[in-house]
């Protein structure tokens, strides 16, 4: 059960990192417009947490990340691909995204 969870976490991390590198390479400082004035994609870096929180505060950011991973790993012990599919999927995404 845990091997399957770790496999999915690893896959999501690889996909996440691959898409980040791909779009960083693809955009190279340019914006792509799909629908003028409505839908436009551009590359932007966020060196903090969500919405730029704790930007350039590496120590505090690292502490919060370690605490969050610890909490998620504690919850990981209860995963079940049979009985708790939604819970399991959510925990896997949280761990992969942290």
pLDDT digits (tens, 9 = 90+) for 56-97: 787 888 898 899 999 998 988 888 888 888 989 899 998 998
Counted domains in the chain: 1
> In the chain, which ranges are E strands?
32-35, 39-41
- Please give the residue range of the domain that contains residue 60: 2-97
| pLDDT tens figures, 6-33 | 999 999 999 999 988 888 887 777 888 8
């Amino acid at each position: 059960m845990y091997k399957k969870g770790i496999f999915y976490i690893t896959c999501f991390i690889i996909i996440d990192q691959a898409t980040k590198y791909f779009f960083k390479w693809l955009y190279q400082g340019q914006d792509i417009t799909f629908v003028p004035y409505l839908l436009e994609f551009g590359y932007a870096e966020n060196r903090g947490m969500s919405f730029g929180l704790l930007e350039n505060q590496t120590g505090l950011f690292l502490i919060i990340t370690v605490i969050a991973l610890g909490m998620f790993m504690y919850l990981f012990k209860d995963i079940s691909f049979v009985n708790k599919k939604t819970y399991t999927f959510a925990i896997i995404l949280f761990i992969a995204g942290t």
